[in-house]
Amino acid sequence: MTLLNKLFHFVLFITKKYNIDESHGLSHSMNVLKFASEIYEEEVSTYPILKKHEKIIYVAAALHDMCDKKYMDQTHGINEIETFLSDKMAPNDNNIVKLIISTMSYSTVKANGYPDLGPYSRAYHIVREADLLAAYDFDRCMIYNMYKKNADLEVSYKDAVTIFNNRVLKHNDDCLFITKYGKKKSLVLETQSLKQMDTWKRLIKNPVL
């Protein structure tokens, strides 16, 4: 079995074990990994050191939410990830993956700033930005709220709008992207997000529904 298959099998295992809903489950893991790959491909020619960090980037991107404190004790989740990776990566690479996923969340960055990961800083930002790009999916935000709000669509929509207005749509104003790809792609995704918001607004107000 390839490492990629093993990573996604682990994601499925952890999501079932901790009842992680689909907003932070397999599809999100896949999307973040794809964004990380796209950022990496644009960055590697300028920062050739990333060739040595490619595996770290992809593993961290795939597993980043498998220790999310919204669903479990973060330290315990990180320890499970470390154990899973113990026979799949060198100890130092395993440690860097842990450092990335434990410091990359929006709330952690807003509270503490960026960690000093030395030569791995660019790898860190690739994974972090990939997760930020995935956050532009308004439907995903609604799905998370529906799981938390007992499937009340209108309340979930209003909460998602608040999150987008206060956080997601301010990613660029808050200077959270440092890569050219992240800055460019975020503007495209922002436009898509606004269209998603308008579509749900119309559907919720549709009298036939």
What sign does the CA torsion over 103, 32, 193, 141 have?
A: negative
The model's pLDDT over 118-132, given as tens digits with 9 standing for 90+, comes to 999 999 999 999 999
The model's pLDDT over 137-160, given as tens digits with 9 standing for 90+, comes to 999 999 999 998 888 999 999 999
Alpha helices in 67-179 (DSSP H): 74-85, 91-103, 106-112, 121-134, 138-148, 153-166
Asked if 117 contacts 96 with a C-beta cutoff of 8 angstroms, the reply is: yes
Give the per-residue pLDDT at 16.
98
The model's pLDDT over 38-56, given as tens digits with 9 standing for 90+, comes to 999 999 999 999 999 999 9
> Average pLDDT, stretch 94-120?
96
Global pTM value: 0.96
Give the per-residue pLDDT at 17.
98
Q: How far apart are CA 181 and CA 132, in angstroms?
A: 12
Asked if 123 contacts 57 with a C-beta cutoff of 8 angstroms, the reply is: yes
> Average pLDDT, stretch 173-201?
97
Q: How far apart are CA 196 and CA 198, in angstroms?
A: 5
Give the per-residue pLDDT at 149.
80
Give the per-residue pLDDT at 150.
85
Give the per-residue pLDDT at 50.
98
From first CA to last CA, the distance across the chain in angstroms is 46
How many folded domains does the chain comprise?
Answer: 1
What CATH number did the domain enclosing 109 receive?
Answer: 1.10.3210
The model's pLDDT over 9-37, given as tens digits with 9 standing for 90+, comes to 999 999 999 999 999 999 999 999 999 99
80: left (phi > 0), else alpha (psi -120 to 50), else beta? alpha
- Taken as a whole, the chain contains a residue count of 209
> Average pLDDT, stretch 160-189?
97
The model's pLDDT over 53-100, given as tens digits with 9 standing for 90+, comes to 999 999 999 999 999 999 999 999 999 999 999 999 999 999 999 999
| Domain assignment of residue 127, given as a range | 3-205
